Amino acid sequence: MLLTSFKKLEDTDPKDKALITILNYVLTQWHYHPQEINDNFSKNVYTKFLESLDPSKRYFLQSDIEEFSVYKNAIDDQIKQENLTFFNLVYKRFNERTEESKAYYKEILTHPIDFMSDETLNVDYEKTKYATNTFELISHWKKLMKFSVLTRVYDKVNEEDDKLKKDKNYKIKTFSELEIEARESTLKNMDEYFNRLKELDHSDLFSTYINCISEEFDPHTNYYDPIKKKGFDQSISGKLEGIGARLQKQNDYVKVSELVIGGPAWKQGELEAEDIILKVAQGDGEPLDIVGMRLDHSIEFIKGKKGTEVRLTVKKIDGTIKVISIIRDVIELEETFVKSSVVNKNGKKFGVINLPKFYIDFDEKNYRNSTTDMAQEIERLKKENVEGLIVDLRNNGGGSLKTAIEITGLFINQGPVVQVKYRDKEAQIKSDIDPKMQWDGPLVVLVNELSASASEIFAAAMQDYKRAVIIGGKQTYGKGTVQSVLDLNRYHNLKEDIGALKITIQKFYRINGGSTQLEGVHSDIMLPSRYTYMEIGERDLTNPLKFDKVPEANYALWNNYANFNEVIGNSKKRIANNTYFKLIDENAKWLKKSQDDSIVYLNYEAYKNDLEYHKNESSKFDEIKNYTTNLTFESPLYEKAILKNDTDLTEKRSTWHKNLKKDIYVAEALNVLEDLKLKPNHHLVKK
């Protein structure tokens, strides 16, 4: 691949020129907040492109960077002139440097590695300087390979210990033998990685370059080349296949940003947002190291056919390493539908409604949507005379704006719900126009840091009307933008497909005028969680749009609670005195400290001790898992009849009810719901 697919610098593909021009036009004309394409823009694209190609600084030399830097302030001019000199130069050099790197790792892995020296590796590569010469670059490669072999040796030593425990006569392999095996598997891993790298052609890296330009506008504005667009059309995101997780690149690592409700990973229960995937194994096969691998290539190994096993070696946010086995499967749509449970507490009956997504028309056969399902669930719970409702929106990543407005309408008479604004236009107020209230009793909305988009619209409206008490983390996700997919082929007459652009065209605003962008919804009652001290959500992304305000809409407070502020104050006192919440808060502080630690030990004993330290520190918080209540959660009456003939649903509901019983956040939400009192002249809507 070295230079065979590389074109002369002056011989630029007309399709590439057309794409640059169309991208420039579409972004500046249609993006919600167009950036001025100037020298500062150029610097950011320059930095982002080099980081995306060489995040761990294992390929380029400082001399390359100095040569590239001539164009640091010129990319904006090149975009306007259909000039791809910078891209072509970097593309050519990247091919040369990756080809040279093959010799480095092959040579390093032919010799035994010494794990006795007190070396460390800082994996915060933003602080790492580019090598000034080949000798320094090879030294960096030695550390990278040493770390890769070290992790394998550690795993193999533990495997040997496990075999000895099962069979007292088993002859343990020596450390030297295991080191040889680990080097061999690392070599095989690296060969596979570079074979993948060799498959990258001009269009692959050009797509990367184009995305560095588009994402400078905001992180949700992404270019899809023709192949990726096909995958996007099929499933909204190619990152959802296989295990059901949204993945994103974080420097050299693949990070889990979200689990798909109803997906295999979500059902398995061990993989979590913020986990880092280090290795991927197919069934009992040899784990493949994906550190440093392109995101789309990593996904190829993670996804697979239904029924096959993938084993992920994951670094948890507490610093511990865990192997998680997931059986790939299709996402079960019914897991995304509304479900409810009934619980008795101190002689009062309450309903818990779980809404995993604001869905609409998922399946042509049944046309289910979250509005009608939610209304029906409320009616069923009213027949059982529940005195209050919890709407659980934790981990709800959003969905249909239409259903978010309609579901808000189930809890208010009439009035504005959200404001939607296009660029350079006044904000439009979207209102609930149906005067019917499905539920006018006490209401608590449960959210967390992963409640996003449509969830934030609903929670914000409930908070602004003072219709519900919002309970959850410090704030919700903070995504207050709307994207649309534009087919770029409408802007040219070439015979080739040039793909599509997902572009941010609108922003959401609360009826109080504030945007949910970055700020999200701040809970009325903040409950400590493992994410409390972490930058998680929209704020954690590169280059998000800013928070701002528009004029407040005209709306009237619901004003039917007799003790709203008192209930919030009492809850805060309970939380402050609750030993479990104190422990959760201590755990959150420790997790933040662990996340900020970027030093990796390359001495075997130091590496082993560091892992043991994190494991032991993590175990101090095991008591959190032991929390339980004496409450009993049951299916509503209508569902009990269905469960008699559906063992699969029975098992799912049983698991959910057991989890609710052990859920400290639901427990406090019920405390709040029990305390909420309506004004004397208020009457519940009855069927």
Q: What share of the chain is helix, strand, coil (3-state, %, to 5)?
A: 45, 15, 40
Domain that includes residue 667, residue range: 337-569+629-675
Interatomic CA distance for residues 200 and 130, integer angstroms: 23
pLDDT beyond 70 at 601? yes
Look at residue 231 in the predicted model and tell me its pLDDT. Answer: 54
296 domain-assigned: yes
Q: For the chain, what is the mean pLDDT?
A: 90
Q: What is the pLDDT of residues 457-474, one digit of tens each?
A: 999 999 999 999 999 999
Residues 361 and 297 placed together within one structural domain of the fold: no
Dihedral sign (CA 517, 518, 519, 521): positive
Higher per-residue confidence, 263 vs 674: 674
Least confident of 52-56, 519-523, 681-685: 681-685
pLDDT beyond 90 at 249? no
Residues 433 and 511 placed together within one structural domain of the fold: yes
Catalytic member of 453, 529, 571, 618: 453
Q: 57 CB contacts (<8 Å, ≥6 apart)?
A: 125, 128, 129, 130, 131, 140
Higher per-residue confidence, 3 vs 146: 146
Confidence of residue 237 (pLDDT cuts 50, 70, 90): very low
pLDDT beyond 90 at 640? yes
pLDDT beyond 70 at 10? no
Catalytic member of 289, 464, 585, 663: 464
Q: Is 479 an annotated catalytic residue?
A: yes
pLDDT beyond 80 at 683? no
Residues 133 and 173 placed together within one structural domain of the fold: yes
Confidence of residue 364 (pLDDT cuts 50, 70, 90): low
pLDDT beyond 90 at 295? no
pLDDT beyond 90 at 124? no
pLDDT beyond 60 at 210? yes
- CA–CA distances in Å: residue 190 to residues 1, 108, 187, 196, 197: 17, 12, 5, 10, 10
Q: Is 201 an annotated catalytic residue?
A: no
Least confident of 142-151, 156-165, 492-501: 492-501
Q: Pick the last residue of a domain from 217, 251, 286.
A: 217
21 domain-assigned: yes
Residues 310 and 348 placed together within one structural domain of the fold: no
Task: List 470's β-bridge partners, or say none.
Answer: 445
Residues 488 and 540 placed together within one structural domain of the fold: yes
The domain spanning residue 235 has which CATH number? 2.30.42.10
Domain count, the chain: 3
Q: Is 204 an annotated catalytic residue?
A: no
Residues 243 and 198 placed together within one structural domain of the fold: no
Look at residue 79 in the predicted model and tell me its pLDDT. Answer: 95
Look at residue 12 in the predicted model and tell me its pLDDT. Answer: 64
pLDDT beyond 70 at 11? no
Q: Pick the last residue of a domain from 167, 185, 217.
A: 217
Least confident of 256-265, 348-357, 519-528, 650-659: 256-265
pLDDT mean over 58-67: 98
Look at residue 620 in the predicted model and tell me its pLDDT. Answer: 93
pLDDT mean over 240-246: 72
Residues 508 and 430 placed together within one structural domain of the fold: yes
Between helices 604-619 and 134-166, what is the axis angle to 10°?
A: 60
Q: What is the pLDDT of residues 378-431, one digit of tens each?
A: 999 999 999 999 999 999 999 899 999 999 999 999 999 999 999 999 999 999
pLDDT beyond 80 at 452? yes
pTM of the model: 0.90
Classify residue 398 as left (phi > 0), alpha (psi -120 to 50) or beta: left
Residues 359 and 303 placed together within one structural domain of the fold: no
Catalytic member of 479, 523, 635, 663: 479
